[in-house]
A and B are shown apart, each in its own frame.
Chain A
Amino acid sequence: MTPRDAQKLVESIPYAKSLGIEARLMGDDFFLVLPYTDSNIGNPALPALHGGVVGGFMEVCAMAELKRRSLELGDPHAKFAKTIGINVDYLRRGKPVETYARADIFKEGSRVANVRVRAWQEREDKPIAALSGHFLLPRADDK
């Protein structure tokens, strides 16, 4: 997969495109960037990013990582996984700056994958939010 393919993968999700999410692929390191836009604000008084944007961004990150993994493993028709459940912890205020997210597949079974995502801004060791989720993996015979 090339950095361009990674970007196309993310842009194929209309929701990701409307948030302005970008993909970065350097070697095997894959992470997403959420550029700052005024329309991603949830609390204009602080100001702070909308919790839903940060949660949605991390969910997109998990789904993109799962699909990337399937493509890398040689399934050219890989589909997106479906979210079963997510748990988001909000750790710090999302400042009006660029935000990053990286997913880690903790466990991948035949039907379900457990994925953890970290979102950060200035420093990766100071996350603003963390997601833990279960995703239903598509099967080849799924319509």
Chain B
Amino acid sequence: MSALVERLWELGPTMVEGTPHAQKIGMKFVAVDKGRATLSLPYNTALIGDPATRVVAGGAVTTLLDQASGLAAIAGFDALGPVATLSLRIDYQRPAKPGETIIAEAICYKVTRNVAFVRAVAHDGDEEDPVATAQSCFMVTGKQYTVEETYKAGDKT
């Protein structure tokens, strides 16, 4: 495991569960790797979008995919720093099953100096049967720190 990936494993849970809105909806850190991130969202009745079907709101899935894609974008660069979403496209393949945890897996497949390109999939157990797929772009919005600098500077990301 590279020093960067090791550092991402140390910072990842705080980057997700320390985000106020991610914490509010109960999002969990699952895994991170170079240019990759996996998060989960346990079922919660406060997130229902349509009371007739009890299916989780598209907005909650959007938030999960945005957060997972953002973490994959951060993990796609060689130095650690903050990013902001520029654009996010989501296609819904089917409603999420009420009661099931939703898992989002994101892959940052390209970074330029300032922009990261990410695709992600949300599913409730079977990756081959997605709930939604996403395509997004993120922009670097602040100073990026090398792994060594993050140890010196504290948790600035």
**Residues of A with Cβ closer than 8 Å to B?**
12-19, 38-46, 48-53, 55-57, 59-60, 63, 79-80, 82-90, 93
Q: Counting CB contacts under 8 A, is B75 at the interface?
A: no
- The 0/1 profile, CB within 8 Å of A marked 1, for residues 59-77 of chain B is 1101111110010000000
Q: Counting CB contacts under 8 A, is B85 at the interface?
A: yes
Chain A residues, Cβ within 8 Å of B50: 13, 79-80, 82
CA distance A71 to B51 in the complex (A): 17
**Residues of B with Cβ closer than 8 Å to A?**
18-25, 45-52, 56-60, 62-67, 70, 82, 84-92, 95, 141-142
- The residue from B18, B57, B89 contacting A13, defined by CB atoms under 8 A apart: B57
Chain A residues, Cβ within 8 Å of B47: 14-15, 18
Interface of A: prevailing SS: mixed
- Of all chain A residues, which has the CB nearest B51? A12
- The residue from A18, A46, A52, A80 contacting B67, defined by CB atoms under 8 A apart: A52
CA distance A80 to B24 in the complex (A): 25
- Of all chain A residues, which has the CB nearest B52? A79
Q: In the complex where A18-B47, A52-B59, A55-B59 touch, is A40 in contact with B92 (Cβ < 8 A)?
A: no
- The residue from A12, A15, A85 contacting B91, defined by CB atoms under 8 A apart: A85
16 contacts between A and B (CB under 8 A): A15-B46, A15-B60, A39-B21, A41-B21, A52-B21, A52-B64, A55-B59, A56-B60, A63-B49, A84-B91, A86-B58, A87-B87, A87-B88, A88-B87, A88-B88, A90-B84
Q: Is the CB of B84 within 8 A of A13?
A: no
Chain B residues, Cβ within 8 Å of A55: 59, 62-63, 66, 88
Given A13-B49, A52-B65: 17 more A-B contacts, CB < 8 Å = A13-B51, A15-B56, A42-B20, A42-B67, A44-B19, A44-B20, A49-B21, A51-B63, A51-B70, A52-B21, A55-B66, A56-B59, A56-B60, A82-B95, A87-B88, A88-B89, A90-B86
